[in-house]
Chain A
Amino acid sequence: NAGVTQTPKFQVLKTGQSMTLQCAQDMNHNSMYWYRQDPGMGLRLIYYSASEGTTDKGEVPNGYNVSRLNKREFSLRLESAAPSQTSVYFCASSEKSRTSGGQETQYFGPGTRLLVL
């Protein structure tokens, strides 16, 4: 099992450019998440998808869109990148069930480092 994979590993953008970060998991998990990690801020949730076909905003959704393409894949799109979006982006997945009640483990990908100039 590869677990959670993310592409690309690194990306440099100019202000105003767009890009899509890709994430895939092979663990048959229902739920997927996008976080950003900034120095001194911990990880903050951007969007999540509790199950295929649903998406919800997290703590910092502005400037981002997401697509849950199928059960395996969850992409994050920056339509018009800004320097404030320079960060490390992590995708995660978990197997939430009706009985897991928030106790399930989230599995993280290796991250995408994004620099917006």
Chain B
Amino acid sequence: GNSVTQMEGPVTLSEEAFLTINCTYTATGYPSLFWYVQYPGEGLQLLLKATKADDKGSNKGFEATYRKETTSFHLEKGSVQVSDSAVYFCALTRGGYSTLTFGKGTMLLVSP
């Protein structure tokens, strides 16, 4: 079946540090890949997505590239801010189907 594996957190960084959160997946067919972010006390919101191999999704300084050869979709940001502190979820939908399979989430804590 489909599955998503994320690095465990929390990831603790100082402001302006470089961020990488690893995500790998197992899926049949041609999945679409997503990163969702959950700020404290809120629901999830889409951060970025990529729908085919070699696509790069980007938003708010975050980016991730769909790597089919390594089945990965790692999230990166060059310079994190305190306001980026949140839980980040990697997820996929199997081609043609809309139901999301989520990773367990990675908490990011950014200190001033």
Binary interface encoding of chain B residues 33-61 relative to chain A, with 1 for a CB under 8 A from any of its CBs, else 0:
01010000111111001010000000000
Complex-state Cα separation, A96 to B97, whole angstroms: 9
> Per a CB cutoff under 8 Å, which of B43, B51, B99 touches A45?
B99
- Stretch of B14-22, B76-84, B88-96 that contacts chain A: B88-96
Instruction: Give, as a whole number of angstroms, the nearest-CB distance from B26 to chain A.
Output: 15
Whether A101 contacts B95 by the Cβ 8 Å rule is yes
Q: Assess the A43–B44 pair: CB atoms within 8 A.
A: yes
> Is A50 an interface residue when CB atoms closer than 8 A count as contact?
yes
Q: Which residues of chain A are near B31, meaning CB under 8 Å?
A: 102
Interface size on B, residues (CB 8 A): 26
Interface core residue of A31, A33, A40, A106 (most chain B CB under 10 Å): A106
Tell me if A102 and B97 are in contact (CB < 8 A). Answer: yes
Residues of A within 8 A of B46 (CB): 105-107
Report which of B44, B51, B94, B103 forms a contact with A90, defined as CB distance below 8 A. B44
Residues of B within 8 Å of A102, CB to CB, are 31-32, 93-98
Select one of B34, B43, B102 contacting A42, CB under 8 A: B102
Q: Please give 5 more A-B residue pairs, beta carbons under 8 A apart, in addition to A42-B102, A58-B99, A106-B98.
A: A43-B89, A43-B100, A100-B98, A103-B93, A110-B42
